[in-house]
Amino acid sequence: MKRTYIDLFAGCGGFSCGLERAGFRGVLHVEQDEWACETLSANFDPATVLCSDVRNVSDEFIRSYRGVDLIVGGPPCQGFSVAGSSQFGVHDPRNELVLWYLKWVEVIRPAVCVIENVPGILGKRDQFGKTVPQIVLERLGPLGYSVRSTLLNAGAFGVPQLRTRAFILCERHGRSIADPAPTHGLIDDRVALDLFDRLQPHVTVGEAISDIPFIGPGEGAEQGLPYIGAPSNDYQRLMRGQETEVRNHVAMKHTRRLIERFAAIQEEQSLKDVGETHGQLRNGSGEVNSKPFKYNNYRLAWARPALTIPASFQSLFVHPKRNRNLTAREAARLMSFPDSFVFCGKRTTMSWEKHLSQYNQIGNAVCPLVAQVLGESLQRWFEGLGVEEGTTRFVEAAVDAPPSGAFLQRAVHSSGVPTLDARLRAELRAAFAAEIGDDKYLLPEVVLDNLPVPSEAFPVALILLTQKGCSICNAGRAPFGEHLGVMPFLISKDELRSLELNENDHGLDYHLRALLSVDHQIAHVVGEQLVALGFGSADLVTNPRTGRTVKGIRSVECPKYLEPYRAAIFGLQRAANPKRRRLTPVPG
């Protein structure tokens, strides 16, 4: 039976589209805009669509959905966006909708809830100096929820757009929800970020839309247009599915002057790059605007991912090869909406019209591919609960599991940091098992979300946590990673890029991966289990690089029987090459 979800502030259903593809079943989509509700009804079960303001729903109605597994939603974000008026901040009345979202969570008590918003939501503070994640924790913490936030860039998951959004993840079973692993990367003019033999190049605008009819201004149709031949790449095949025609592909009409202006704008240029001949005229005066918005009439690059598609993009971006703005379908492709997804309502609206146009709906949405990979991470989290709800899952293993992240070996060795050898790892396992006892701890392997966590990670962590100057991960700048008795579980992403590019990370996760060649995120289960076993206390720690609050551990005491291994572990760095070597990107 599929796990169920509710989508609040659902918009046109981008979050829901991805969750459905990840195997969830929607039981309620709440949205107050009529045109967006038409889109929801056209793509999901109309019986699940509630066209209403979340504040106008009775508690009795909300309680009728108790038992739902997941609540997601993107409360209106204008008050947090850097593009919005600075006078708003967290005082913007629209931000109060976050509190109404939390009310639904408090009444229904799902296992997980997720809030999506612009990155600014993580740093803005209310009149009491509290950030939104802190407010969420204050409201949901007493109900047993843990709260953490993460930033996901859509381009890293196969979306042809460099769009970063914040996700606040709340769960109430004591098991961390893993970030989805990136699949795509790009740096400096089509150089694939493939340092670890697993990332594909970013999907480009051209790869995303080259099979859609190349229509001119004022041309196109809402449905019935044929594709340009067969799909030429995996992204086009994914977007097409079983579709045989293109929908929502109507280009805006433009004046001759506007078309001439577009013709003068080259790729990755905008209105600010053209002279007075093609400049933007001020309303009423006829004078040329000398300070146009940087990205107004910005022509996208055919061979690069798109910039962030905002809700107001209808006149913002210019087609890479046609002198017109994007159509709704082209923008939907850049957001990763499948071609089967139909958009309803007017294509565009005038300033006095209050409904969400097709363009508004698309630009406001969560990218479906991002929602899908996040949904797949949530499914793995739920599967872990299915074994023994609310606890970490332990399994026996006959032999040592090979490092699950074999690609890490090259990155670690390029830094001159050797991993622990098999003999030392075996001794640490045996020493820890003898002290803790098999009744509390099953050896030799712990499994978290189907990722192997070698049991020697626990004694190694105890030694790391009580070594005030940890330079394991940075042999060229010892002592590095001084944590003064407090160490974050996790700071950076799983490619070890922060270490390689910035030489600036002291999280427990980095040190464990450098020494043991294990997967990203194991520090969460290691740290939490050490706290459960009485070795330290959980705490919130400030990431010294970003200022974000992350989960960590403090007041750890290292058992005396592990002290002899301290010299063995930290002696390794003396044998390491003291010269730093940066990884050089290889042209893809």
Residues taking part in catalysis:
77
Query: Considering only CA atoms, which of 113, 337, 321, 123 is closest in space to residue 228?
Result: 321
Query: Residue 300 is encoded by which pair of tokens?
Result: 């996208």
Are the C-beta atoms of residues 362 and 309 closer than 8 Å to each other? yes
User: Using CA atoms, how far apart are residues 165 and 154, in angstroms rounded to an integer?
Assistant: 8
User: Using CA atoms, how far apart are residues 272 and 265, in angstroms rounded to an integer?
Assistant: 9
Strand partners, 229: none
Query: Considering only CA atoms, which of 440, 445, 470, 452 is closest in space to residue 530?
Result: 440
DSSP, residue by residue, 105-147:
HHHH--SEEEEEE-GGGGT-B-TTS-BHHHHHHHHHGGGT-EE
Strand-strand pairing, 70-73 and 200-201: unpaired
Query: Residue 238 is encoded by which pair of tokens?
Result: 């994914």
H/E element holding 429? Answer: helix 422-436
Query: Considering only CA atoms, which of 418, 270, 58 is closest in space to residue 50?
Result: 58
Residue recorded with tokens 């830094």: 415
User: Using CA atoms, how far apart are residues 330 and 205, in angstroms rounded to an integer?
Assistant: 9
User: Using CA atoms, how far apart are residues 285 and 546, in angstroms rounded to an integer?
Assistant: 46
Strand partners, 72: 7, 114
Q: Which 8-state DSSP code applies to residue 252?
A: P
User: Using CA atoms, how far apart are residues 432 and 441, in angstroms rounded to an integer?
Assistant: 9
The residue type found at 478 is A
Q: Which residues contact 69 (CB under 8 A, 6 or more apart)?
A: 3, 4, 5, 24, 110, 111, 112, 382
Name the maximum alpha-carbon separation found in the chain.
84
